[in-house]
Chain A
Amino acid sequence: MLRRARAVNPSGAVVRMGEANYPAPFASVLEFNAPVHGTWNIVHTGMLVPQAQQVYVCAANCMRGVTLTAAEMNELDRFSFVLLEERDLVEGTVEEVTLEGVTDVLRKLDKLPPAVLLFTVCVHHFLGCDYDFLYQNLAERFPTVDFCRCYMDPILQKGGPTPDQKLRRSMYELLRPLPAHKGVVTLLGSDFSTDETGDLAAYLREIGYELRQLPDCRTYGEFLALAEAELFVSVYPNALLGAKAAAERFGRPHLYLPQCFSFEEIDQSLGRLSQALGLPRPDTVPLRRRAEAALAETRALVGETPVAIDCTVHPRPLGLACLLLEHGFRVDTVYLDGISPEEEADFRALQHTAPDLLLKATIRPEARVLPRGRAQKVLAVGQKAAWFEDTPHFVNLVQGAGLWGYDGICRLCERMREAFLEEKDTEDLVPRKGWGCESCV
């Protein structure tokens, strides 16, 4: 058991909002990984393409994480792989092993899938793999299969898009141009379907539009039919790169209507959507009133209980902090490691309105050993906040789930009230991978 002779200085991992730097409040050093795994990874997201097979080509250690992700979500039969060995790197056989290995696993399958998401890795990039040669050969060997170029190359993510962002672009490269259908809107790039009660889905339903989304697709054909939209929208930040690229490729409009907590921004998004469809702007006053009521009801219940928010629960943790602080909640901590450009305005605002709000790092080494939990009850909004605060009272959501608009605020408030009143088994829930996915754990 670890024994420390003296207390650890928390200063590298904790900063007052008033003194925090944008966009990096903490220095980049060694990284800790908390036992909190509800956010989706590339395996979870890739499995959204119906009937597709994922094939990874990488070293054993990298493979272990992805293969067991598939195993835990009971999808091993849609997951295959080829192991790279040291001699491949030394002898320059990475391309050959990739080509022959992928060929071998596909020939071993009972039935060829309509699409293969082939993930190459950092090693391919560093060795200058000839991707065109690779994919051209695979296409010739398997003419009925659509190959999707996917990457698990996190070494590149500090200077460019993350593997997650690139996957959300690659997946939609499988779509082929189809004639636009009047009355169809496709939402691209989210892991979760936007809630049916959400303002976005409700508005489209009200005006007679069909909303198509990848998580609702059950067949590869349904997936391909996503391309029939007259308008593409995206709501999740990591989707933006791929959604814009897909819309451009099809020559159709794209709107980014982010999941957020600002009333003005929600109104603007609904306004932009209605304008794009050539329809009148929806009346949001009743929706706003409902959200205000939900916030007031929740505040009355939660009272002065400290609230801690984390960056895994929603793409806008600071936006959520702003909303809750404006409505009288005692938000005192936000767990995050960087500030998203989308949150710069919220960050600047909070520096003035809540300078004592604490920002706490989740990946700094100190985060491993600093004391967790408090003597008093804490309401955590998000899995990481739950772990760091060591509390059973937490909102168990990731990535904003399907929340959108005023309805999203109401639903989050419901979850907060439920979390405040009922205890959850934090140790059982937060280490599970892929919130919302099937799990054998």
Chain B
Amino acid sequence: MRRSHRILPVYTADVSGVCSALYELGGMVVIHDPSGCNSTYNTHDETRWYRQDSLIFISGLSEIDAILGNDEKFVADIVSAARELRPRFIALVRSPIPYMNGTDFPALARLIEAQTGIPAFFVLTSGMHDYVCGAGDALAELAWRFVRPPERVRPRSVNLLGVTPLDFAAEGSAEAMRRALEERGWQVRSCWAMGDDLDALACSGEAQVNLVVSAVGLPAAQVLRERFGTPWVAGAPIGAFADELCAALECAAETGACSAPCARRVQGRSGPVVTLVGEPVSMGSLAAALSLWFDCPTRVLCPLERHEGLLAPSDCAVRGEEGVENALKDAEIVVADPMYRYICPETVRFFELPHWAMSGRCYQKRLRSLFALTEEQCGTILRKI
């Protein structure tokens, strides 16, 4: 049964995805939930909670309010907190019970916005999808509401879309991406959403190209494409793939066409297939780097919901523990979060790459930056494992 898991944890869900994407932007996120969502989020899905404050709260929904459809307390509590804390925006997030009883969140957002004068919006969640959906839709909402039409487009400039600790938890990942692009002559206008504030994101329309570094960034890229015609390119500047990615950026800047070079990998011909499990853009980019360095064939297994246009023909979308387990049955070399060891055949050569959205802080001491991986390291590791 696809939905039963004997041992493999579940990925970060949509609710936490929203919180993670909006964390650094000065807004207030309110999860309409009885209890637990905030604790789950800040314990397992958030690396910044201890040191960096952010206004993320739950409503403390009670049975009686859920049954009677009493939204007044929800609205009043948000309005009261917003008047005191003055966030830049208010994002409403839905957990399973409000999903089930059909709470009208868009209407509540309008009501809250009217009462506070603070932009308020609902991010379509239910607690039953993965983080890519929640974080992606949250960033897309920002792209609709806060990005100003550009006065001019700056040549050779990009926005990094889809940067959250859920996919890039290793310290310095966002900076490493910036550096890799700047070394190749590209200026980073904004990073969605680590290290930049809402004002920086509001100027994103000035970028010539949007670089989608994880599937989380794709919906925002599509919005910016629709609003300003900005082309997007999907891929992360990992190792040898960074040059190819920048060539794709050049091409997008010239032609205005969108592309996903992480999914257009040239398959290597040397050695066994390397199977990478995880988020499609970062794993596809790492697969591309491995192919370029070692001429090895690769395939990405994507256990996440959104991957359209981001997988290569050799890749495969899988769902649930059973789906991944079946897909890994004949694998020889696996690159994945250490949790996947539990469902890999014993004979597999396993290269662990902790992914926060899968294992949270379980392997935080063993996190590796994808951008610090070198040909020599990967070669040594692939030969040794």
Residues of A within 8 A of B (CB): 1-6, 8-9, 12, 28-33, 35, 37, 58-65, 67-68, 71-72, 76-77, 79-86, 89, 97, 100-102, 104-105, 108-109, 121-123, 126-127, 152, 154-159, 365-366, 368-369, 427, 431, 433, 440-441
Contact = CB atoms under 8 A, between A and B. Distances in A.
B55 A60 contact: no
A100 B26 contact: no
24 contacts: A3-B26, A29-B80, A30-B81, A33-B42, A37-B39, A37-B43, A59-B13, A60-B128, A62-B127, A64-B13, A71-B339, A71-B362, A81-B10, A83-B10, A105-B6, A154-B35, A155-B63, A156-B63, A158-B63, A365-B57, A368-B53, A369-B55, A431-B49, A441-B361
B23 to A, nearest CB: 9
B15 interface: yes
Contacts of B129: 60
Given A67-B9, A83-B3, A368-B53, A29 B81 contact: yes
Interface in B1-32: 1, 3-7, 9-16, 24, 26, 30
Point out which of A83, A100, A156, A433 has the most chain B C-beta atoms below 10 A from its C-beta. Answer: A83
A64 B5 contact: no
B99 A89 contact: yes
A4 B13 contact: no
Given A64-B45, A71-B359, A108-B4, A126 B84 contact: no
Contacts of A159: 62-64
B3 A82 contact: yes
Interface residues of B, number: 72
Given A65-B43, A67-B10, A155-B61, A8 B85 contact: yes
Contacts of A5: 86
Contact of B4 (A32, A68, A101): A101
Nearest to A121: B96
Interface string B28-72: 001000111111101111000111111101111111101000000
Nearest to A125: B63
B57 A32 contact: yes
B360 interface: yes
Contacts of B30: 30
B59 A431 contact: no
Interface string B187-207: 000000000010000000000
Given A30-B81, A33-B38, A155 B86 contact: no
Given A82-B4, A105-B4, 9 more contacts: A3-B197, A61-B16, A65-B44, A68-B360, A72-B361, A83-B3, A158-B62, A365-B57, A368-B57
B370 interface: no
B27 to A, nearest CB: 9
Contacts of A121: 96
Point out which of A32, A63, A68, A81 has the most chain B C-beta atoms below 10 A from its C-beta. Answer: A68
Contacts of B197: 1, 3
Contacts of A28: 60
Contacts of A6: 86
What 8 A-B pairs come out closest when comparing CB atoms? A65-B40, A61-B127, A61-B13, A154-B35, A60-B13, A155-B34, A30-B57, A104-B1
Contact of B7 (A80, A366, A431): A80
Given A2-B53, A76-B342, A86-B128, A31 B58 contact: yes
Given A33-B39, A35-B42, A109 B3 contact: no
A397 B39 CA distance: 20
Given A60-B10, A62-B40, A30 B63 contact: no
B96 A59 contact: yes
A365 B58 CA distance: 10
B14 A61 contact: yes
Nearest to A363: B60
B115 interface: no
B63 A369 contact: no
Nearest to B100: A89
A30 B58 contact: yes
Interface in B121-173: 126-130
A352 to B, nearest CB: 32
Contacts of B326: none
Contacts of B127: 59-62
Contact of A29 (B15, B77, B95, B342): B77
A3 B24 CA distance: 10
Given A1-B24, A61-B14, A109 B6 contact: yes
A366 B9 CA distance: 33
Given A28-B60, A72-B361, A154 B34 contact: yes
Given A37-B43, A433-B43, A86 B50 contact: no
Nearest to A80: B6
A440 B362 contact: yes
Contacts of B61: 155
A71 B333 CA distance: 24
A125 B49 CA distance: 32
A77 B80 contact: no
B43 A62 contact: no
Nearest to A32: B57
Contacts of B253: none
B50 A431 contact: yes
Given A30-B59, A82-B4, A97-B3, A126 B100 contact: yes
B74 to A, nearest CB: 9
A365 B62 contact: no
B314 interface: no
Contact of B36 (A29, A60, A62, A80): A62
Point out which of A31, A58, A63, A427 has the most chain B C-beta atoms below 10 A from its C-beta. Answer: A31
Contacts of B360: 68, 71-72
Interface in B209-268: none
Contacts of B39: 33, 37, 65
A95 to B, nearest CB: 14
Given A29-B81, A68-B360, A80 B43 contact: no
Nearest to A87: B128
Contact of A81 (B4, B16, B26, B44): B4
B126 A368 contact: no
B37 A61 contact: yes
B96 A62 contact: yes
Contacts of B367: none
A157 B35 contact: yes
B78 A30 contact: yes
Contacts of A35: 42-43, 49-50
B54 A2 contact: yes
B373 to A, nearest CB: 24
Nearest to A102: B4
Contacts of A8: 84-85
A10 to B, nearest CB: 10
A9 B363 CA distance: 39
A85 B133 CA distance: 14
A126 B5 CA distance: 24
Contact of A100 (B1, B55, B81, B342): B1
B97 interface: yes
A121 B36 CA distance: 12
